[in-house]
Structure 1
Amino acid sequence: MMKTNKYDLTPILVAIFVPIGVAVLWYRSTLSRCLPPGPRNLPIVGYLPFLDPNLHTHFTNMAHSHGPIFKIWLGIKLYVVINTPELAKTVVRDQDETFANRSLTIAASIIAYGGQDIAWSNSNSSWRNLRKILVHEVLSNKNLEACSSFRTDEVRKMIKNVYSKIGTRIDVKEISFFMIANVLTTMVWGKDNHLGAELQMVVSKIVEMLGRPNLSDFFPFLTWFDLQGVERESKVHFKELDRVFTSIIDDRIKLNSERLDVGVGHEGKKDFLQILLELKDQKDATSLDITKIKALLTDIMVAGTETTTSVIEWAMTEIMQNRHVMKRVQEGLAEVVGPNNIVEESHLSKLKYLDATVKETLRLHPVVPLLVPRSPSQTCTVGGYTIPKGSTVFVNVWAIHRDPRNWDNPLEFDPERFLTEEGMDKYDFKGNNLKFFPFGSGRRLCPGVPLAEKMGMYILASFLHSFDWSLPKGEEHDFSDTFSIALKKRKPLVAIPSQRLRDVSLYV
């Protein structure tokens, strides 16, 4: 007779997972009659074993087999993917209020202070209040104009830095990141704290965590085990960023207290942090507290740096690959800026071809290719199918931007498509045309678009007016990407600048 190992866990595992498996199968079969079509699923794990890490391309290929709206089960969680402008309109316009909530992952919950920021918060009064503060106090046209000197100073420093490295290899995203981080820190808390390198490392890790598939999200009963270490690693990076914010806020509160003690008030323009702290003290007028302030700072520093630097890197890659595009961009700069001048923000609105080039970059390489996932607050219908309350909905802008039904020669990089009379009237960054909405649409439209647009255009114009660019000898452009929540180049763009303007004084 075979002896039974007293340490054999099989009976315990069977006792746990068999009832769970039966319950999952019953739940799926009950719902499936009304849900969108989708691939076959394995018991318990669903489609999880077949999921490709590059979700944007994987979901686009799946749409060819399963249609413009389809479902997948990942563990016990239901996901629905939208792949056409018509269906996207139902989600982000017709039923925008219903789909305005977020599907909060474990990593997002940690990094966003439990979903108390703008990007990951559900649509509620707190979210509306935070968004209003950000748009009114930081991103209004008046305030952006008032902060233009910050951007000008940092762009000049960047050009001087690049000039000092002429003929050497430069990481385009890295140098752009430092410049944008300096602008944001100056706008937000009044001075450059030399946090560029530290911020870049932390932000990169946070974006990776936000996009990493996590078994605990698909099987909530596994959360306690944290099998992949996503929760543990997210907490590490969160604490690093929180430590920076805590130090800056504590220093400011202490400084404010010292000023009050000696009867000294604030002079001149207040930075964003000072405005937030004053709003926090008006307890009858706002629900702000220190945690919400930190959550808002996280949005600004993470989204504000990562998205804009990614656009710059992709745009430079496409421009360098398509030499006729570079020639047209530089001809436009010569005409508007002049060969004996440097780029100013006042020039940007006149650089029509560069603007079209940025839009074409975002068409082919949207920064957040599936947008931030939505979650319906009640069961509803999209495309004739039932979308259950609490499910997760992805809007696949990557597929929409490359669909031949929406665009002629969709895989070709052609800024001219945005220069036709129809193109100039139809396409902007406000999400009004759902064939092109790289920053989302509706009430969850990214509020940082005005600043991102200014910064991206200003840096690109300065790069391309002041320098010629080439790849290191023997290297070729690599257009492969990698998916997290944001779309990154798999191989960073490293390029060699050379002097373009005759007057050396324009570089120093």
Structure 2
Amino acid sequence: MEHFQHAMFCLLVLMCFGDKLDEDQIKRIKDVQRQMIVNFSKFNILNYWPGVTKILLRNRWKELFFLRKCQEDVFMPLIRARKMAKEERVNKSKEDMKDYEDEYVLSYVDTLLALELPEEKRKLTEEEMVSLCSEFLNAGTDTTSTALQWIMANLVKYPQTQEKLFMEIKGVVQDGEVSIKEEELQKMPYLKAVILEGLRRHPPAHFVLPHAVTEDVILGKYAVPKDATINFMVAEMGWDPKVWEDPMAFKPERFLESGGETFDITGSREIKMMPFGAGRRICPGYGLAMLHLEYFVANLIWKFEWKAVDGDDVDLSEKEEFTVVMKNPLQAQVCPRLK
């Protein structure tokens, strides 16, 4: 799991800041982010009666401000460096620009620097950009790496599924190719089915973020009052025997039985599962998450054969951390495939 998290985090850091940072810089970012995530629930109470908690829980407020200061100390130099690079780019000659464009990666920070708030007629502050970068890294790391671990665990547990996936990849990618390209992923329907089945059977979050009801409403046989806080049981929706045949089994083939029609993960036609939420509040990064999962799973299966450790059956028991993870993390023998 640590390897999956590190790989995903490094990718998101590159996407966020546009530069390949060294290991020390990545470790500093990871440490401040981990501290925020680990202490997240502890600071929730500070949202209620802040005037009172600033007196009764002043040490907890100090801890929150300290962690925030650590985060700003790490993020702000990276944001400022990107801002300076953007200004230098504007002043480059056409010849220099051509060489620069070959190395240039449009980053998330670049889009934040360009953003203007129309109602307030201003740019984002550095503090606002720190918060948005933190959200970008947190939202994409644990959720995607958790989903990746569950998918790989099932491919280890069910070697026939892994072999079927490998044969699909082999039919698309030429022998000797070191890695799979993004455009090749679009030719792999069984790969997409494996990802969808992983998200159905093991959604990283068993609930979406809470929502508030704007008016009194009758939902089925229940009366839901205005301003009530509600949530959706994402995992149970994906395990509903009225919707899914043999719901607790890992069967990617169930997503290939629609006569070639692509499964609607957004829930715009109907909602059978919603690992990313649905409607206007759907996770804005769901497309990116699907791409990352397809890319990592395809390349891990293309390059290596994954086997259970001798005498050790893969345990799919769960436990809840920031996401719902494997109670006993995946242990596997990884053997390079002979090309």
Q: Could you tell me the TM-score, scaled by structure 1's length?
A: 0.57
CA–CA separation in structure 2 for the residues paired with 1:389 and 1:501? 62
Q: Percent same amino acid among aligned pairs?
A: 25
Match of 1:429 in 2: 265
Matched, 1:366 2:203: yes
Matched, 1:469 2:306: yes
Matched, 1:274 2:131: no
- Taking the TM superposition and a 5 Å limit, the aligned residue runs for 1:234-383 are 237-254=67-84, 259=88, 264=92, 267=97, 268=101, 270-280=106-116, 288-341=124-177, 342-383=179-220
- In 2, are the aligned partners of 1:340 and 1:501 still within 8 Å (CA)? no
- Taking the TM superposition and a 5 Å limit, the aligned residue runs for 1:99-498 are 173-194=1-22, 195-210=25-40, 223-224=53-54, 225-226=56-57, 237-254=67-84, 259=88, 264=92, 267=97, 268=101, 270-280=106-116, 288-341=124-177, 342-421=179-258, 425=261, 427-432=263-268, 433-498=270-335
CA deviation after TM superposition for structure 1 residue 367, in Å = 1.7
Q: Which residue identity lines up with residue 500 of structure 1 in the other structure?
A: R
Provide, for residues 342-363 of structure 1, a one-character-per-residue CA deviation record: whole Å limited to 9, x for no partner.
3221211111112111111100
Distance 1:190 1:322, change over 3 A: same
- In 1, are the aligned partners of 2:147 and 2:198 still within 8 Å (CA)? yes
SS for the counterpart of 1:296 is helix
Provide, for residues 79-133 of structure 1, a one-character-per-residue CA deviation record: whole Å limited to 9, x for no partner.
xxxxxxxxxxxxxxxxxxxxxxxxxxxxxxxxxxxxxxxxxxxxxxxxxxxxxxx
Distance 1:281 1:357, change over 3 A: closer
- In 2, are the aligned partners of 1:401 and 1:407 still within 8 Å (CA)? yes
Provide, for residues 435-480 of structure 1, a one-character-per-residue CA deviation record: whole Å limited to 9, x for no partner.
1221011111111112111111111111111111224444332222
SS for the counterpart of 2:230 is strand
- In 2, are the aligned partners of 1:312 and 1:456 still within 8 Å (CA)? yes
Provide, for residues 112-158 of structure 1, a one-character-per-residue CA deviation record: whole Å limited to 9, x for no partner.
xxxxxxxxxxxxxxxxxxxxxxxxxxxxxxxxxxxxxxxxxxxxxxx
CA–CA separation in structure 1 for the residues paired with 2:148 and 2:14? 21
SS for the counterpart of 1:395 is coil
CA deviation after TM superposition for structure 1 residue 282, in Å = 8.4
- In 1, are the aligned partners of 2:159 and 2:307 still within 8 Å (CA)? no
CA–CA separation in structure 1 for the residues paired with 2:26 and 2:151? 22
Structure 1: tracts of 5 or more residues without a match: 1-172, 503-508
Provide, for residues 211-250 of structure 1, a one-character-per-residue CA deviation record: whole Å limited to 9, x for no partner.
67966779989845459x9766655554443332222123
Over the residues paired in the alignment, what is the CA RMSD in angstroms?
Answer: 3.3
Answer 1 or 2: higher relative contact order, Cα 8 Å, separation at least 6: 1
Q: Which residue identity lines up with residue 307 of structure 1 in the other structure?
A: T
Larger radius of gyration: 1
Distance 1:400 1:271, change over 3 A: closer
Distance 1:412 1:281, change over 3 A: closer
CA deviation after TM superposition for structure 1 residue 285, in Å = 5.2
- In 2, are the aligned partners of 1:431 and 1:445 still within 8 Å (CA)? no
Distance 1:203 1:434, change over 3 A: farther
SS for the counterpart of 1:498 is strand
Provide, for residues 357-401 of structure 1, a one-character-per-residue CA deviation record: whole Å limited to 9, x for no partner.
111110011122101111224444433544344432110011111
Q: Could you tell me the TM-score, scaled by structure 2's length?
A: 0.82
SS for the counterpart of 1:470 is strand
Which is further off, 267-276 or 355-364?
267-276
- In 2, are the aligned partners of 1:315 and 1:358 still within 8 Å (CA)? yes
SS for the counterpart of 1:439 is coil
CA–CA separation in structure 2 for the residues paired with 1:220 and 1:387? 29
